[in-house]
Homo-oligomer: A and B are copies of this chain.
């Protein structure tokens, strides 16, 4: 298929994740329009052939597909639902794909507003972090109609390694919350296991070899323990973003009337870590520091 027959994509939010993801679309030949609050972060894409728009709404008005990955739910709400935002400005029939990790209820509101204007919307948060975005190996969890999902798949193919249609509007965000809740518990267990091992005088490398491939094994242990051993607490995935995600999950859980004490504990510990100087800007494996520095009390 020649690039002229590909739909025009507007990509809003060209931070660490978005810049890599948009780059893959450009590489695949999609005509690309970009907007970002800080324009310099789009420089690489503009140099590679993307066109600049002066606002999210202006970007949306020129595209067949609008993809967003911005910071917080408030940012998502603003770029989609402001009077001059994406939903108001997009062309009839356009497909809107929000890949930010945001609230399920907001995803439902956006989908409803989009439908009212003859647009289709998908919530499609990702996991896999900066490395996954760079290497095009993200996992994508998409909520929306079958038709909208089908339209999005060719784009997902450029950005990810796996994509799952998990349900209707909001289901992508709910699935991402389940993902983050599982990670929260696993990180707790992993960090506490190696904190214990350290206190007991065990060699961390040997401990990882002894327990990493068995019933205690996890993606987190395999990927983060080597970084912890090397004193590497760089993100990866930012503590501040994990706190945002866990906060959303706690809010949703309370609304649904369920009690998740492991999630609440993990969120408290990560907030405690963020109180440390520079803690919010570290990677999630830095939870280790709370334990190593003896910052916890019973």
Contacts and interface: CB of A to CB of B under 8 A. Distances in A.
B167 A291 contact: no
Nearest to A195: B258
B216 A167 contact: no
Interface residues of A, number: 72
A178 B262 contact: no
A44 interface: no
A259 B214 contact: no
B128 A162 contact: no
- Of listed A189, A219, A221, A260, residue having the most chain B CB within 10 A: A189
Interface string A261-284: 111011001000000000000000
Given A195-B258, A259-B298, A216 B215 contact: no
Interface string A168-209: 000100110111111111111110111111011111001101
A49 interface: no
A179 B211 contact: yes
Given A182-B216, A187-B185, A201-B167, A265 B265 contact: yes
A23 interface: no
B211 A196 contact: no
Nearest to A177: B196
A164 B262 contact: no
Interface in A231-281: 249, 252-253, 256-263, 265-266, 269
Is chain A's binding surface mostly helix, strand, loop or mixed? helix
A136 to B, nearest CB: 14
Contacts of A217: 218-219
A178 B194 contact: yes
B181 A192 contact: yes
A232 to B, nearest CB: 17
A182 B221 contact: yes
Given A186-B189, A211-B178, A296-B259, A166 B206 contact: yes
B104 A200 contact: yes
Nearest to A292: B258
B203 A167 contact: yes
Interface of A: 104, 127-129, 139, 141, 162, 164, 166-167, 171, 174-175, 177-190, 192-197, 199-203, 206-207, 209-211, 213-221, 223, 249, 252-253, 256-263, 265-266, 269, 291, 294, 296-298
The 7 closest A-B pairs by CB, nearest first: A185-B189, A218-B218, A188-B262, A182-B193, A164-B210, A182-B216, A174-B200
17 contacts: A127-B211, A162-B210, A162-B213, A166-B206, A171-B200, A174-B201, A178-B196, A181-B192, A185-B190, A185-B262, A189-B266, A196-B252, A196-B260, A215-B219, A217-B219, A218-B218, A261-B265
